[in-house]
Each structure stands twice: as C-alpha cells, then as structure tokens.
Amino acid sequence: MGLGTKIKQFLFVTLRIRKYQWLSDCKKVSGKPNYHHPCLLAGKGRIVFGQQVQMGVIYSPNYYSNYSFIEAREENSEIKIGDHVAINNNFSAVAFSKITISDFTVIGINCSIMDSDGHHLDPAKRSAEGSESVAVYIGKNVFLGDNVTILKGVTIGDNSVIGIGSVVTKSIPENVVAAGNPARVIRNL
C-alpha cells in the first residue's frame, strides 16, 4: 500500500469520525475515548467514558461503512464505559435507565446492548411511549464475541466470555463461557 493510499484512507476515516462527532447531540458526555471508527452519541442522559477506551478497530469489518451508536435516551439515563475497554466496529448501546460496561472488557463487531424492549409486547400498547427498563451490568474483563446481543436486566459476571452470535436474555455468572440463543453456560473457565 503506497503512501498516497494511506493518506487518503486516513483522511477519509478522520472526516467520518469528525462528521459523527458533529452530528452527536448528547450534551452530558465525560471522558474522551480514542476514536478509530465513527460513533454517534445521542440522548438526554449521561455517557461516561473511562480512561483509554478504544472505539473501533482499524481495518476490521465495517471499518469504512458503518458507525457505532450510543444513546442515553432519557434525562436520567446513563451509559458508563470503564477504563481500558475496547469496542469493535458497529456497536450499539441504548439505555432508558442504565448500562454499565466495566474495566478491561472487550466487545466484538456488531454487538448490541439494550436495557429495554423499546416497545410493549401488547399490540394495544405497542405505539405508546415507553416500556419496562431494567439496568444491564457487564463485569470486569468480559469478552463479548462478534454479533452478541444483550437484553434488559442482564448481569454478566467478571471474566466471562460470550460466544459469537449469542443472545443474552438472562444473567451469566463470573468465570464461564456462555453461548447460544438464548445464551447458556457451556463451560467454566
């Protein structure tokens, strides 16, 4: 790869990152992650980044085409990302109440975390505002494989690994490997 190509790639990615920073409307953001991929920060709540948080991975899938989305939707919503967390490309987190991602966690490509269903299951209430929200907590040194979805009320214990493509609907203890849809413990670490 020639120097000219590297400069073009650098400028392209830098401009995309700046574009999404400009489009972000969340006013209560603290901390400054290292952006390697565009990220849109939205909502009325708080988004807190710890030290040395990495957003995006260079030359990983979705590097040129997508962006990450983090939204603390309501006034009292909070998304807290701990120290030394690495988040791969095309990540999304939407909090109506609270999402916590603890220190040294690694998150794969296309992962989603939601603390609410977003809409009611009852068809008569589906168009109405709001639904039940239950906080999500991800412990320290957790590894989420690619394409993992974590749903409301889930706690993932320290040092656990969640396998590729898993949908986590119930809490997972510490020091285990869990996988599947719905995710279940398949072995201890």
Residues annotated as catalytic (active site), given as ranges = 119
Strand 183-188 relative to strand 176-180, pairing: antiparallel
* DSSP character at residue 59: T
**Residue 158: what are its φ and ψ, rounded to 5°?**
-55, 145
* DSSP 3-state of 174: coil
The full DSSP string for 105-166 is -EE-TT-EEESB-SS-SSTTTTTSS---B--EEE-TT-EE-TT-EE-TT-EE-TT-EE-TT-
